[in-house]
Amino acid sequence: MRHRFAVGQAVVLANPRKDSRHIYYIIQLIPETSHEPQYRLEEVKSGITCVGAESDIKRAKAQ
């Protein structure tokens, strides 16, 4: 399966649990190990990193 997003691209969570929308940058494409592409993400303000599946994120709107 091919990754739809690229390293350096800004994304947000597709279904945020809170009103605040945190912006993440894709810092790594994770090699295929499951049924959908995964990404290592870094939150802009806090610098916290996490892993998200392609269905969990969407492109951030230009600000």
pLDDT in tens, 33-49: 778 999 999 999 999 99
3-state SS assignment for residue 36 = coil
Residues 45-62: what's their mean pLDDT? 92
Distance between CA 2 and CA 37 in Å, rounded?
7
H or E stretch at 51: strand 49-53
Backbone angles phi, psi at 41, to 5 degrees: -115, 150
What residues contact 56, with CB distance under 8 A and at least 6 apart? 13, 14, 15
pTM for the structure as a whole: 0.84
Give the residues across from 50 on adjacent strands. 41
Residue with the bigger pLDDT between 13 and 33: it is 13
pLDDT digits (tens, 9 = 90+) for 17-38: 765 678 999 999 998 877 899 9
- Locate 60 and state its tokens: 């951030």
